[in-house]
C-alpha cells in the first residue's frame, strides 16, 4: 500500500530572538494534528529545530494534498496566535499569505514530501536544519548517493550499482534538470557546487526510479522579496535494503562543511550535527545546525524517533564544527565569512550601500583634481 510522508515546517516565533520555538507552540501544533489523526493523518510527530517547527506527518493522500497542507497551515496559524499573545520574536514570520489557498508552497512554509509503497521494513531519516538554506543538502546528498568513499553500498550492493538520478533546481530561472551519477557526476558537481543558484530537490534510484530523497527547496526570500529569515530546510531520506544504510547516510555529516546562513543569513558557517535537545543555536545565532530523526514506518505509523546525531560518534564532528566556527568568525564582516552580495538574506544591505552611492567619484576625476591642486591651479 502507498504511504506518503510529509514534512512541513515554519518559523512562527522564537524564544528568545530567533533561538528556539518554545513548547507552547509545539503543544498547539500537537493539538491540531491530534484532532486530524484517523480522519486525514495516520500518524505525526511534532518537533523543532531552533526557531523552526517541523510537522512530520504520514497519510494516504499523496503529495501536494490540499487537506494535508491545509492542516499544516492551520497548525501554524494556531501557533501564531499563541506566539502573538506571548509576543514571541518574529511571531508568524513565515506565514506570508493572508489565507490558505490549496498548497503551502509559495506561501512561506517549507515542505518535503515523498510517496512510496512501504517496504517490508521501511527506515526513513528526517533531517531538520536551522540558520541555513536548502543548498545545505547539495554536498551531503552527493556524498550519500554518488560517492563510494562515503557510501560503501554503491560498490557492494547490486541494487545501487546503477547509481542514482538527481533532480536539480535552478532557483533563479525556476527551471530543473535531471542528472545521473556516476555517468554525469562531473556535470552534476559543476552545478551543485554553486550554492547560489542550484539546489538538489529529489534523488531517485536509477534501477527502478524508486524515490530515495527529497529536500524542501522553497526560496522564502525570493517569495517575499525582502528579508523574512532563511529558508531553514528539511529533507527526507530512505535507507537500507538497496538504499544507502542509515550509517552511510549519517556519514555524510561526520566531516562538517561550510553552508550559507548563520547570523542574519549573511555568513558562511560550519554545519553542526546535533541532537534534538541541542538544536538551539546560540553563538552568533548559530552555528548552523542539523538534526537527524530516524523512524521505522509500520503500516504508515511513525515508530520512533531515534535521535541519530545524539551519539558520541558525532562528538568529533561537533568539535570540528566549533573549531571551524572560531576560525571563520575571526573574519568578522569580511569575505569569505560574509556571503557574496547576491546570497545575503538582508535586503537591507543594498539600502545601507545606496546611501553611499552618490558619494562615489570617478577615480580619474580625483586624479585630475589632485594634479591641478599640486600645480596650484585649484584650491
Ligand atoms: C538568521 C536569523 C537571525 C537573525 C538575527 C537578526 O536566519 O534568523 O540570525 O537574522 O537575529 O534578526 P532581526 O533582524 O529580526 O533582529
Ligand atoms: Mg525566526
Ligand atoms: Mg530558523
pLDDT band at 316; cut points 50, 70, 90:
very high
Quote the pLDDT of residue 379. 79
Whether the Cβ atoms of residue 51 and residue 90 lie closer than 8 Å to each other: yes
* % residues pLDDT > 90 (the chain): 85
Quote the pLDDT of residue 106. 80
114 against 344, higher pLDDT: 114
Quote the pLDDT of residue 223. 60
pLDDT digits (tens, 9 = 90+) for 143-165: 999 999 999 999 999 999 999 99
Q: What is the mean pLDDT of residues 125-143?
A: 97
With a 6 A CB cut-off, is 229 part of the ligand 1 pocket? yes
Residues measured by CB to lie within 5 Å of ligand 3, the ion: 11, 50-52, 130, 232
In angstroms, the CA 59 to CA 40 distance is: 7
In angstroms, the CA 213 to CA 236 distance is: 5
With a 6 A CB cut-off, is 288 part of the ligand 1 pocket? no
Q: Domains in the chain and their CATH numbers?
A: 1-117 (3.30.70), 118-345 (no CATH)
In angstroms, the CA 114 to CA 117 distance is: 10
Mean of the per-residue pLDDT values for the chain?
A: 94
Quote the pLDDT of residue 228. 54
Quote the pLDDT of residue 253. 98
With a 6 A CB cut-off, is 289 part of the ligand 1 pocket? no
Quote the pLDDT of residue 268. 98
For the chain, the three-class secondary structure string (H helix, E strand, C coil) is CEEEEEEEEECCCECCCCCCCCHHHHHHHHHHHHHHECCCEEEEEEEEECCEEEEEEEECCCCCCHHHHHHHHHHHHHHHHHHHHCCCECCCCCCCCCCCCCCCCCCCCEEEEEEEECCCCEEEEEEEEECECHHHHHHHHHHHHHCCCCCCHHHHCCCCCCCEEEEEEECCCCEEEEEEECCCHHHHHHHHCCCCCEEEEEEEECCCCCEEEEECCCCHHHHHCCCCCCCCCEEEEECCCCCCCHHHHHHCCCCCCEEEECHHHCEEEECEECCCCCCCCCECCECCEEEEEEEEEECCEEEEEEECCCCHHHHHHHHHHHHHHHHHHCCCCCCCCECCHHHCCCCHHHHHHHHHHCCCCCHHHHHHHHHHHHCCCCC
Give the distance (Å) from ligand 1 centre to CA of residue 263: 6
pLDDT digits (tens, 9 = 90+) for 171-206: 888 889 999 999 999 999 999 999 999 999 999 999
Q: What is the mean pLDDT of residues 250-259?
A: 98
Q: What is the mean pLDDT of residues 258-285?
A: 97
pLDDT digits (tens, 9 = 90+) for 34-83: 999 999 999 999 999 999 999 999 999 999 999 999 999 999 999 999 99
pLDDT > 90? residue 221: no
pLDDT > 90? residue 215: yes
Quote the pLDDT of residue 230. 57
With a 6 A CB cut-off, is 48 part of the ligand 1 pocket? no
pLDDT band at 321; cut points 50, 70, 90:
very high
pLDDT > 60? residue 227: no
Quote the pLDDT of residue 346. 67
Q: What is the mean pLDDT of residues 232-255?
A: 98
pLDDT digits (tens, 9 = 90+) for 354-375: 889 899 999 999 999 999 999 9
pLDDT > 80? residue 218: no
Nearest Cα residue to atom 1 of ligand 1: 264
Nearest Cα residue to atom 3 of ligand 1: 264
Quote the pLDDT of residue 174. 84
pLDDT digits (tens, 9 = 90+) for 85-124: 999 999 999 998 888 888 898 888 999 999 999 999 999 9
Give the distance (Å) from ligand 3 centre to CA of residue 216: 14
For the chain, state the CA radius of gyration. Answer: 23
Lowest mean pLDDT among 68-82, 162-176, 234-248, 325-339: 162-176
Quote the pLDDT of residue 168. 96
User: What backbone torsions phi and psi does residue 179 show, to the nearest 5 degrees?
Assistant: -125, 145
Quote the pLDDT of residue 144. 98
With a 6 A CB cut-off, is 108 part of the ligand 1 pocket? no
Whether the Cβ atoms of residue 109 and residue 76 lie closer than 8 Å to each other: yes
Quote the pLDDT of residue 239. 98
Q: What is the mean pLDDT of residues 226-250?
A: 88
pLDDT > 60? residue 226: no
Amino acid at each position: 500500500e502507498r504511504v506518503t510522508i510529509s514534512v512541513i515546517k515554519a518559523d512562527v516565533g522564537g524564544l528568545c530572538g530567533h533561538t528556539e520555538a518554545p513548547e507552547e507552540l509545539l503543544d498547539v501544533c500537537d493539538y491540531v494534528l491530534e484532532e486530524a489523526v484517523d480522519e486525514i493523518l495516520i500518524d505525526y510527530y511534532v518537533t523543532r529545530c531552533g526557531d523552526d517547527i517541523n510537522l512530520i506527518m504520514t497519510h494516504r493522500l499523496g503529495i501536494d494534498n490540499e487537506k494535508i497542507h491545509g492542516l499544516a497551515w492551520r497548525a501554524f496559524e494556531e501557533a501564531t496566535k499563541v506566539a502573538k499573545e506571548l509576543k514571541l520574536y518574529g511571531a508568524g514570520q513565515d506565514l506570508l499569505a493572508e489565507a490558505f489557498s490549496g498548497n503551502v508552497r509559495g506561501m512561506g512554509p517549507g515542505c518535503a514530501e515523498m510517496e512510496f509503497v512501504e517496504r517490508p521494513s521501511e527506515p526513513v531519516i528526517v533531517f531538520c536544519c536551522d540558520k541555513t538554506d536548502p543548498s545545505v543538502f547539495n554536498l551531503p546528498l552527493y556524498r550519500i548517493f554518488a560517492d563510494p568513499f562515503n557510501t560503501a553500498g554503491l560498490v557492494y550492493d547490486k541494487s545501487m550499482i546503477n547509481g542514482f538520478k538527481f533532480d536539480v533546481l535552478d532557483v533563479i530561472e525556476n527551471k530543473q534538470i535531471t542528472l545521473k551519477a556516476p555517468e554525469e557526476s562531473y556535470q552534476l558537481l559543476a552545478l551543485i557546487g554553486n550554492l547560489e543558484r542550484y539546489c538538489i530537490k529529489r534523488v531517485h534510484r536509477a534501477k527502478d526510479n524508486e524515490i530515495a530523497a527529497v529536500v524542501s527547496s522553497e526560496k522564502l526570500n525570493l517569495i517575499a522579496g525582502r528579508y523574512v529569515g532563511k529558508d531553514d530546510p528539511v529533507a527526507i531520506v530512505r535507507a537500507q535494503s538497496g538504499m544507502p544504510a542509515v550509517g552511510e547516510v549519517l556519514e555524510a555529516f561526520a566531516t562538517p562543511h561550510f553552508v550559507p546562513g548563520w547570523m542574519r543569513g549573511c555568513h558562511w558557517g560550519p554545519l553542526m550535527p546535533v541532537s534534538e535537545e541541542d538544536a538551539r543555536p546560540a553563538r552568533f545565532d548559530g552555528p548552523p545546525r542539523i538534526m537527524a530523526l530516524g523512524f521505522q514506518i509500520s503500516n504508515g505509523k511513525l515508530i520512533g524517533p531515534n535521535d541519530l546525531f545524539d551519539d558520541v560518534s558525532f562528538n568529533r564532528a561537533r568539535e570540528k564544527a566549533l573549531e571551524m566556527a572560531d576560525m571563520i568568525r575571526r573574519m568578522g564582516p569580511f569575505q569569505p565569512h560574509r556571503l557574496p552580495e547576491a546570497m545575503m538574506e538582508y535586503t537591507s544591505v543594498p539600502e545601507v550601500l545606496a546611501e553611499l552611492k552618490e558619494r562615489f567619484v570617478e577615480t580619474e576625476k580625483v586624479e585630475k583634481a589632485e594634479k591641478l591642486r599640486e600645480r596650484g591651479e585649484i584650491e
